[in-house]
Amino acid sequence: MDTERELQKIAVGNAIDGRDPTLYRQAIRIILCVVLAGLEAACSDTQMWWEPLPPGTLVVEGLSPDRELSAVVIAQKKPGSYTLEIRRQVSQERLARRVIAAPAGYHAHLITVEWSPDGEQVTATIDHDFGDNTTVFELTPD
């Protein structure tokens, strides 16, 4: 009888001072759910460790060898998407346009543009994986 009464006192005491075992189990379940949700977000393909540039931001510009044309890369709304354009330097008339993109990875994209020596073609390169993987795009004026 004393044992039964002692067990009741312990159960009542634990419930009163917040040590109810069911509360512990519920708290552990909640913590596990939060941790698992965080792990899923960290492992998803869309996880980025860098802040994308606002849409319309001029990322890079390069002049053709004769300085008549310029190649520009402009950030788009979707992270990792850009527009590569060739424009006349003086009038800013657009001669060619192409949407380019690379996966959003662990670091901000490193984008370069390089003209061919004859100025007939521009090559845009997006480094999205610490130099291990680059995405290359070519564009010629129309």
Bridge partners, 124 (sequence order) = 113, 137
CB 58 within 8 A of CB 72: yes
User: Over the range 102-126, which residues count as b (16 or more CB within 10 Å of their CB) and which as e?
Assistant: bebbeebbebebebeeeeebbbbbb
Ordered by start, the domain boundaries in the chain are 2-43, 58-139
Q: What is the pLDDT along the chain (142 residues), one digit of tens a residue?
A: 576 776 666 655 555 555 556 766 777 788 876 776 666 655 555 556 788 999 999 999 999 999 999 999 999 999 999 999 999 999 999 999 999 999 988 889 999 999 999 999 999 999 998 888 899 999 999 8
Give the up-direction half-sphere exposure of residue 86: CA atoms within 13 A in the CB hemisphere: 21
Using DSSP bridges, classify how beta strands 110-115 and 94-101 pair: parallel, antiparallel or unpaired: unpaired
Task: Give the pLDDT score at 43.
Answer: 53
The predicted model scores a pTM of: 0.66
